[in-house]
Amino acid sequence: MNISINPIGVIKKSGKRVKILIYSDFENIISNVTGDIQKGIELLVVHRNSQKDTDHQVQVSKATLVERVGNLLTVSGIVSADGDSVIDLRRMDDISC
């Protein structure tokens, strides 16, 4: 079975920080996710896994928001490859288990 998922953004590495560019068609997602944005909020980032040492195609990473400028989020704590497609983005405090 094949499932087609369109990315909402892309991950770009910049030194120790990672920048997540959300495509303009999905800017409303940032507003819904970040709301009253505060430095230090924790996010879950669902993205394509481009690591070659695993069979998993999707990875969920926990990241801390450092800064938001428009549709560009700077985060720390995420380990991913440059160019990974972002599939979804959620605030940790919005997740209930």
| Mean pLDDT lowest among 6-10, 26-30, 45-49 | 26-30
Domain range enclosing 57: 9-94
Q: Domain for residue 20, yes or no?
A: yes
pLDDT of residue 5: 82
Region 66-91: mean pLDDT is: 86
With respect to residue 3, please indicate whether it lies within any of the assigned structural domains.
no
CATH of the domain at 53: 2.40.30.70
Q: Does a structural domain hold residue 1? A: no
> Would you say 47 and 59 are in contact if contact means Cβ atoms under 8 Å apart?
yes
- Residue 62, in any domain of the structure: yes
Domain assignment present for 35: yes
Q: Provide the β-strand partners of residue 12.
A: 19
Break the chain down into helix, strand, coil percent, rounded to 5.
15, 45, 40
pLDDT tens, residue by residue, 31-42: 776 666 677 889
Count how many domains the chain has.
1
Predicted TM-score of the model (pTM): 0.81
Give the chain's mean pLDDT: 82
